[in-house]
Amino acid sequence: MKIGAYSYKGGVGRSVSTANIAVLLAKRGKKVGIIDADIEAPGIDQIFGIDVPSINLLDLLAYPDRYSISKNSFPVVDIKNELKLELDGELFILPSARDRKKLKSVTVDPSLSVIFDNIVKEFTEKYNLDYLFVDCRSGLAHYSVMTLWAVEVVLLFFGWGKQNFNGSNYILSNVIERIPKPSFSIASRIPDFIGEEELKERVQNTLGNKLLGYIMQDKDLAWEEQIIVLKNPESKAAKALTEISYKIEELGKI
Ligand SMILES: Nc1ncnc2c1ncn2[C@@H]1O[C@H](COP(=O)(O)OP(=O)(O)OP(=O)(O)O)[C@@H](O)[C@H]1O
Ligand SMILES: [Mg+2]
């Protein structure tokens, strides 16, 4: 299943949550991939603490005739091997680099959507993935819409507040429903004075789609981006992420 991790606003915990959920699924024996498609502000590499290979997603987007996952698999990082993680499954990452020169070589026109769609397909097929997460660009950039086309399901991350609710609502009715793709909301970095019922009611009234789960504001995650499901699996945040990971498995069975 190809899953887009998207949010209208930035900084809501989308990348950290996606990285943690991917690790959980891989730990339970799944073959999982992540594409860092937030190409103007990538960060998945930093969450895992890995170096970005000199050939990365930007090369696949800029020079599709020269580089492809099926021809040469080197842009993909094998996280299980690299970080010596105990996973029953596999975890592969296709990172992006903060290289302004390379970013300029990526031509923004309709053909880019076709190129990205092809990268998603090749990654899934070559590594026989059960789940591929695409960490999308937030907001309404061309890059965000391009990534939403390529996935099957959208996880709409949002934080508490008017800008998040109104922006997510706009995206749901003007982008996701028009493509159209099934979408599920994930509330993130929610202040602990907000109760579950209040949250569910607000999602129901404002967004109207299903709340797949919620992750409260967490002290350790606020302090540092980390794979909290491995570092502190008993924490509230790790438990919330685990619950969401099981719900994602259920989505795969629809
Ligand atoms: N549940 C949480 N509680 C507190 N802090 C969190 C939580 N989840 C993530 N964070 C922190 O919030 C910051 C932003 O997280 P992250 O980079 O995952 O957000 P993002 O939505 O991907 O942002 P961007 O749009 O910039 O890519 C990071 O410092 C991260 O450690
Ligand atoms: Mg991010």
Residue 115 · residue 61 · CB < 8 Å: yes
Distance (angstroms) between ligand 2 centre and the Cα of 141 equals 14
Strand partners, 156: 6, 185
Measured between alpha carbons, how far is 136 from 143 in angstroms, rounded to an integer? 8
Task: Please indicate whether residue 188, judged by its CB atom, sits closer than 6 Å to ligand 1.
Answer: yes
For residue 254, the model assigns a pLDDT of: 52
Residue 54 belongs to domain with CATH number: 3.40.50.300
Strand partners, 80: none
Domain residues for the domain of 23 are 2-252
Q: What sign has the CA pseudo-torsion 54, 59, 60, 66?
A: negative
Measured between alpha carbons, how far is 129 from 124 in angstroms, rounded to an integer? 5
pLDDT tens for each residue of 1-44:
999 999 999 999 999 999 999 999 999 999 999 999 999 999 99
Measured between alpha carbons, how far is 63 from 71 in angstroms, rounded to an integer? 13
Q: Which residue from 16, 140, 163 has its CB within 8 A of the most atoms of ligand 1, so it is best to mutate?
A: 16
Residue 222 CA: which ligand 1 atom is closest?
5
Strand 90-94 relative to strand 77-78, pairing = antiparallel
Task: Please indicate whether residue 59, judged by its CB atom, sits closer than 6 Å to ligand 1.
Answer: no
Measured between alpha carbons, how far is 58 from 112 in angstroms, rounded to an integer? 11
Task: Please indicate whether residue 96, judged by its CB atom, sits closer than 6 Å to ligand 1.
Answer: no
Measured between alpha carbons, how far is 154 from 209 in angstroms, rounded to an integer? 11
For residue 7, the model assigns a pLDDT of: 97
Reported pTM: 0.97
Task: Please indicate whether residue 237, judged by its CB atom, sits closer than 6 Å to ligand 1.
Answer: yes
Across the chain, what does the average pLDDT equal? 94
DSSP 175: I
Q: Coil, strand, or helix at residue 65? A: coil
Number of domains in the chain: 1
Per-residue pLDDT of the chain (254 residues; tens, 9 = 90+): 999 999 999 999 999 999 999 999 999 999 999 999 999 999 999 999 999 999 999 999 999 999 999 988 888 999 999 999 999 999 999 999 988 889 999 988 889 999 999 999 999 999 999 999 999 999 998 888 889 999 999 999 999 999 999 999 999 999 998 889 999 999 999 999 999 899 988 888 888 888 999 999 999 999 999 999 999 999 999 999 999 999 999 998 65
Say which amino acid occupies 19.
Answer: A
For residue 99, the model assigns a pLDDT of: 87
pLDDT tens for each residue of 39-66:
999 999 999 999 999 999 999 999 999 9
Residue 151 · residue 159 · CB < 8 Å: no
For residue 253, the model assigns a pLDDT of: 64
